[in-house]
């Protein structure tokens, strides 16, 4: 909580600490009064109970002070909330598409990615939508959370102030693999972002688009984590142990192997996984498979 990697984190933390400070103040005040009454009105000092008349002044005090404190918390929270929702005019727009169980980010130039890459110090406006059920885009480090709702577009913005990698989660239960719906925010320098944004080949970009459109990342991660099938990370030209006709063997995940795995996924089953992927023969053209392989070559 003490680190503040984004502008929204500063605002949320300030409100939190203000309310927490009032909580401790009230706790201290109530405890002191309670101890005073325990001592002052101890049975030994007051063997005969007596009635206490009303005290309008005291009643006004214990009504007005909490009212002022509550209103101050509301006012402070409202002012910071308005600032969080007011998007700067120079914010970089990024479209976010949520689906079971992955995220897709589309930038101004049409480039897409499964991780959110942004330049440090630049306001970013996320335009959220969902392809199926309600999801919730959540970056704990930035104190940012907003629902992605089918049939409508929502938004949230933030300005990353420190370079690094931060977790993206789904904060709305969305089905069996809800807990696997994770990604990352990669905050980099402006130069690094420009190089990344312009550096990928057209073929690899087309392959990434196909992979995202077909929903491949719902079963195959790009960060090394295991979902339903093997991860795409570092797959290209790696050594893979497969089961072919009941026998184990080691093969190289080269272009030929990858295309065969797309067309006939159950011919060579990667050890440790189930043969549940449907064959894609007839669903993809030769050019599209070439582009997918070109994209897999870039997932390191």
Residue-wise pLDDT tens digits, 229-254: 888 888 888 898 988 888 899 988 88
Burial class of 40 by CB neighbour count within 10 A (0 to 12, 13 to 18, 19+): exposed
11-53 pLDDT tens trace: 888 899 999 999 999 999 999 999 998 888 887 877 777 777 7
Indicate if the pLDDT at residue 119 is higher than 80: yes
b/e 239-276 (16+ beta carbons within 10 angstroms → b): ebebeeeeeeeebebebebbbebbeebeebbbeebeee
202-213 vs 286-298: helix axis angle to the nearest 10?
100
The owner of tokens 């043969």 is: 275
Give 202's pLDDT tier (boundaries 50, 70, 90).
low
C-beta of residue 139 within 8 angstroms of C-beta of residue 185: yes
Q: Which of 236, 228, 235, 290 is nearest to 259 (CA)?
A: 290
Indicate if the pLDDT at residue 81 is higher than 70: yes
At residue 199, the pLDDT reads 66
Give 204's pLDDT tier (boundaries 50, 70, 90).
confident
Domains defined along the chain, listed by start: 7-85 (1.10.287.90), 92-199 (2.60.40.420), 202-298 (1.10.760.10)
Give 3's pLDDT tier (boundaries 50, 70, 90).
low
């Amino acid at each position: 909580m003490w680190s503040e990697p984004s502008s929204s984190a500063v605002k949320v933390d300030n409100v939190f600490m203000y309310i927490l400070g009032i909580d401790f103040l009230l706790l201290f005040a109530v405890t002191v009064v309670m101890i005073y009454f325990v001592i002052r009105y101890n049975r030994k000092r007051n063997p005969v109970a007596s009635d206490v008349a009303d005290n309008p002044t005291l009643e006004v005090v214990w009504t007005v002070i909490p009212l002022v404190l509550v209103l101050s918390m509301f006012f402070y929270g409202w002012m910071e909330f308005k600032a969080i929702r007011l998007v700067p005019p120079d914010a970089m727009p990024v479209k976010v598409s949520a689906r079971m169980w992955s995220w897709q980010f589309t930038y101004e130039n049409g480039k897409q990615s499964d991780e959110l890459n942004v330049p440090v110090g630049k306001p970013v406006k996320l335009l959220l939508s969902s392809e199926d059920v309600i999801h919730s885009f959540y970056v704990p480090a930035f104190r940012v959370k907003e629902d992605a709702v089918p049939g409508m577009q929502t938004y949230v913005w933030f300005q990353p102030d420190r370079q690094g990698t931060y977790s993206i989660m789904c904060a709305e239960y969305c089905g069996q693999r809800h807990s696997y719906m994770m990604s990352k925010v990669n905050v980099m320098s402006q130069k690094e972002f420009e190089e990344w944004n312009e550096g990928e080949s057209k073929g690899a970009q087309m392959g990434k688009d196909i992979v995202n459109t077909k929903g491949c990342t719902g079963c195959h991660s790009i960060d090394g984590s295991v979902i339903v099938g093997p991860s795409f990370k570092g797959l290209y030209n790696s050594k893979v142990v497969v089961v072919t006709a009941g026998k184990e063997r080691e093969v190289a995940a080269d272009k030929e192997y990858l295309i065969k795995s797309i067309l006939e996924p159950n011919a060579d089953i990667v050890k440790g996984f189930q043969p549940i992927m449907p064959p894609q023969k007839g669903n993809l053209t030769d050019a599209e498979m070439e582009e997918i392989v070109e994209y897999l070559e870039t997932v390191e």
